[in-house]
Amino acid sequence: MCWSATADLVAGAGVGAVGVVCVALVRSRRDLPLAALPLLLGAHQVVEAVVWSSDGGGGPATVAWVVIALPLLAVWVPAGVLCAAPPHARTRLVVLLAVGVMTAVPLAHGLVTGPVTAEIRGRTVGYAIDLSHPLLLVAGYLLATVGSLILSGDRRLTLFGILAAAGALVCWTLWRLEFISTWCAFAALCSVVLLGWVRARPTAASPPSRRPTAPRP
């Protein structure tokens, strides 16, 4: 989320451009889901520009924004981390992916059964969705997303997870105070960090070639 439609469009274009570079630099197909995350975040910002232009409400852009923010990211992030993680970390990451799926199901159910609305509040946008046990869902969401990064077994992703936790707390505090929405800056920072991770990834090992052996006499 940004503080205006223009800011969302600019941020979305910039984050999406970083996503294109991330995908282009991928050396292993296992890294592709996580490398493509900035593309999703960029699209998310562009969708919110439409929400700003529509003065909030409950239109398709609002629903699309909430779908990306809640059930989709709850599964996408832990799944992407699991794909890219070293073998020794995959067992615990499967558990976190399961937490993400179990969190995404009631989130998706709330989207289908209840109204989803957006309200312009100064330089922020407030989204409303009727959910049961919201605190439990928030805990599951954070465990699946931030937790999977911190427990990824990859040093850069662990640092990224710590940064994401701190940045999300700052952004959430400013948003709750209705001072200004800075999520777009947070998304841009995350995308640049992911670009550094992609560039540092090793090339996927290719299977050893077998040299033809001469027949024995």
Does residue 210 lie in a domain region? no
Nearest to 5 by CA among 63, 72, 58, 65: 65
> Could you give the 3-state DSSP secondary structure of residue 120?
strand
Is residue 86, in this structure, part of any structural domain at all? yes
Give the per-residue pLDDT at 209.
45
Supply the pLDDT for residue 184: 72
State the pLDDT at residue 189.
83
Domain count, the chain: 1
Q: Model confidence over 85-94: pLDDT tens digits?
A: 999 999 999 9
Residue 82 lies in a domain: yes
Which residue has 């520009």 as its token pair? 49
C-alpha–C-alpha distance, residues 6 and 15, integer Å: 14
What pLDDT is recorded for position 202? 84
Q: Is residue 73 in some structural domain? A: yes
Q: Answer for the pair 154, 143: CB distance below 8 angstroms, yes or no.
A: no
Does residue 206 lie in a domain region?
A: no
Which residues in the chain land under pLDDT 70? Answer: 1, 171-183, 204-217
User: What is the reported pLDDT for 179?
Assistant: 44
The pTM of this model reads: 0.87
pLDDT, tens digit, 9 for 90 and up, residues 116-135: 999 988 888 888 898 888 88
For residue 28 the two structure tokens come to: 């292993």
The domain that holds 188 is classified in CATH as 1.20.1070
Asked if residue 213 is part of any domain, the answer here is no
The overall average pLDDT reported for the chain is: 87
Q: Which domain holds residue 139?
A: 5-200
> In this structure, is residue 212 part of a structural domain?
no
Q: Are 162 and 90 spatial neighbours (Cβ–Cβ below 8 Å)?
A: no
Q: How far is 125 from 167, CA to CA, in rounded Å?
A: 18
- pLDDT at residue 134 in the model: 87
**Dihedral class, residue 178 (left if φ above 0, else alpha if ψ from -120 to 50, else beta):** left
Q: Count of alpha carbons within 13 Å of 167, Cβ hemisphere only?
A: 18
